Amino acid sequence: MTRGAVQPTDEDLVAAVLAGDRERFGDLVERYQGRLVNYLFRLLRNADDAHDLAQEVLIKVYQVLDRYDPQYKFSTWLFRIAQNAAIDQIRRRRLKLVSLRTCPRRSADPMEIFATGSEAMPSSRPSTDCPGSTGSSFCCVTSASSRTRRSPV
């Protein structure tokens, strides 16, 4: 666009996309992609995850664009979808179970939490894969929180 030219509003671009001009969605992507990645990076604290999720969010927005209500700002709607997607990803990240049947000392992940001593829950199949193993199997959860969660393997 040339300088001084009036750029179409977000609502105008959405209306054009819904009317069949799919190329106008590219204008919305150009307008918001940088800010969206930045926002997701602040929530996820990982640049690769932020870029990936930004792409997923933009695809989702395109798919549900007909649900957008023009009485509200498009940016507010877009960033709410992004926030919900980030929260879902953070929840999934926290709930990944990690088996201790493989040696956890080989892992560089500081979030692995080990159940030890009387809190350990023995398994019917003892594991001796890890140095210092007492013959019991343990399970840990990778978690960004400080709470320890354990379950038998």
Do 85 and 106 sit in the same domain of this protein? no
Do 89 and 115 sit in the same domain of this protein? no
d(CA 124, CA 137): 8
Reading the block at residue 117, the tokens are 């001593």
CA distances to 29, 134, 140, 146, 147 from 113, in Å:
41, 17, 5, 9, 9
2 lies in some domain: no
4 lies in some domain: no
Domain range for 121: 95-153
What mean pLDDT is predicted for residues 94-98? 70
For the chain, what is the domain count? 2
pLDDT digits (tens, 9 = 90+) for 114-141: 444 444 444 444 444 455 445 444 444 4
- Taking a C-beta distance cutoff of 8 angstroms, is the pair 104, 134 a contact? no
Give the number of residues written for the chain: 153
Do 100 and 81 sit in the same domain of this protein? no
Non-local (6+) Cβ contacts of 6 within 8 A are none
Q: At 20, which CATH number?
A: 1.10.1740.10
Do 74 and 139 sit in the same domain of this protein? no
Do 25 and 39 sit in the same domain of this protein? yes
pTM attached to this predicted model: 0.61
24 lies in some domain: yes
3-state secondary structure of 127: coil
Is the per-residue pLDDT at 76 higher than 70?
A: yes
Do 62 and 81 sit in the same domain of this protein? yes
Helix (H) or strand (E) holding 139: strand 139-141
Do 84 and 100 sit in the same domain of this protein? no
Task: Supply the pLDDT for residue 5.
Answer: 82
Average pLDDT, the chain: 77
pLDDT digits (tens, 9 = 90+) for 38-50: 999 999 999 999 9
3 lies in some domain: no
Taking each helix axis as running N to C, give the angle between helix 10-18 and helix 24-44, from 0 to 180 degrees, rounded to the nearest 10: 120
